[in-house]
Amino acid sequence: MKATTRQLSGARQAVTQWLALVLLCSCLCARAEMPADAVWIDVRTPSEYANDHLREAVLIPFDGIEAGVARLQLPKDIPIYLYCSVGGRAEVAKQRLEAINYSNITNVGSLENARSIVADSPP
């Protein structure tokens, strides 16, 4: 049985809403627990980063996340916060880092979410 365009559109909308909810929950947890030694990584493209980025963030595009993090020589358990434009690329980067045994990775979704978390964290 073929799915109709309407059914596919509804399924896409449901997945998008679910992802937004997951990212919101992740951001709320990040706000409450962001440690002082946290590392912020912008996984967008160099042109997106050049246009605007979080002051605390280092640029490592998502498709080179493993090598980029290896160059930083970070401990496997250091808190790493990832963001992109909406959360998709950050999620791919998170999964890749977890696959190489990084254990404290948070996808905060967008640059706006990252700014909100940094602004709400204690000095």
Residue 123 in this model has a pLDDT that exceeds 70: no
Class of domain 5-120: alpha beta
Of 117, 111, 90, 91, the closest CA to residue 29 belongs to 117
Each domain of the chain, given as residue ranges in start order, spans: 5-120
The pTM of this model reads 0.74
What is the tens place of the pLDDT at every residue in 24-78?
A: 555 455 445 678 889 999 999 999 999 999 999 999 999 999 999 999 999 999 9
Asked if 27 and 116 touch (Cβ cutoff 8 Å), the reply is yes
What is the tens place of the pLDDT at every residue in 3-32?
A: 666 665 666 666 565 555 555 555 455 445
